Amino acid sequence: MSYKLVVFDFDGTLADSFPFFLEVFDTLADIHGFKRLDRSRLDQLRRCDARELIRHVDMPLWKMPRVAMHFKALMADNIGRIALFDGAGEMLQRLAERGTQLAILSSNSEENVRAVLGPEHASLIHHYVCGVSLFGKHRKLRRLLADSGFARHEVLCVGDEIRDIEAARAERLAFGAVGWGYTRIEALRAHAPELVFASVDEIAEQVAGRHTGQN
């Protein structure tokens, strides 16, 4: 049995937003009172999970909602500068043509997600679960799974961060790690994802017809 529902993270998985994230991070740090990123340690930081990054910049967790809201507003103001990764739209189209249902589970706003996707690709998405808190993905994923009606072995989560893997693991779902996002692929491999994608094209090639033994 092939995967019938693929749940995508957005930033760093479908949307090439990491350069924008780096560009505005120091602005957010100065306004909200936490440390700027140490650019000399950027490669190391891209191997860390979200909790380690938060500790690195000394950001109190209670500031996270306000910072996240500000980041989404900045992206909305600059939405024309954010694009899908090359081939991402075509990949979504190929999956949809094969009858695969598509979902997006993201901390970003639905408005930003739809704007970057554009009307054609946005119409391919069956389920939008957006505005999710930094560490709240597993709860939203549980609700999405219930709403979709699919069994766990029919669902694949695809993302670029360790917290994405943790959310999938919490709900006993298969995970596909992408090698072009925020987190270095070596760090994602250490968590033993079921699939690893080296390029966007590989997602459509590997997902259809793949089997998984999860219950």
Q: What is the CATH number of the domain that holds 193?
A: 3.40.50.1000
Give the total number of structural domains in the chain.
2
185 lies in some domain: yes
Looking at residue 207, its pLDDT comes to: 87
pTM of structure: 0.93
Radius of gyration of the chain (CA): 17
CA pair distance 124, 58, nearest whole angstrom? 39
Looking at residue 78, its pLDDT comes to: 97
Instruction: State whether 77 and 130 are in the same domain.
Output: no
Average pLDDT over residues 109-122: 98
| Residue 215: band (very low, low, confident or very high) from pLDDT cuts 50, 70, 90 | very low
CA pair distance 108, 2, nearest whole angstrom? 29
Residue 214, pLDDT > 70, answer no
Average pLDDT over residues 141-154: 95
Looking at residue 2, its pLDDT comes to: 79
Instruction: State whether 136 and 203 are in the same domain.
Output: yes
11 lies in some domain: yes
Looking at residue 209, its pLDDT comes to: 55
Looking at residue 210, its pLDDT comes to: 56
For CA atoms 14, 15, 16, 19, the dihedral sign is negative
- Residue 24 structural domain: 18-81
165 lies in some domain: yes
CA pair distance 7, 162, nearest whole angstrom? 15
In percent, how much of the chain has pLDDT > 90?
92
Average pLDDT over residues 12-25: 96
> Average pLDDT over the chain, rounded to whole?
93
Placement of tokens 């780096």 in the chain: 22
Instruction: State whether 30 and 107 are in the same domain.
Output: no
Average pLDDT over residues 195-214: 78
Strand order in the sheet with 195-197: 127-129, 101-105, 5-8, 155-159, 174-178, 195-197
| Residue 62: Cβ-neighbour burial (10 angstroms; 0-12, 13-18, 19+) | exposed
Residue 200, pLDDT > 60, answer yes
Q: Are residues 66 and 181 in contact, defined by beta-carbon separation less than 8 angstroms?
A: no
Placement of tokens 């936490």 in the chain: 34
For 88-101, what is each residue's pLDDT tens digit?
Answer: 999 999 999 999 99
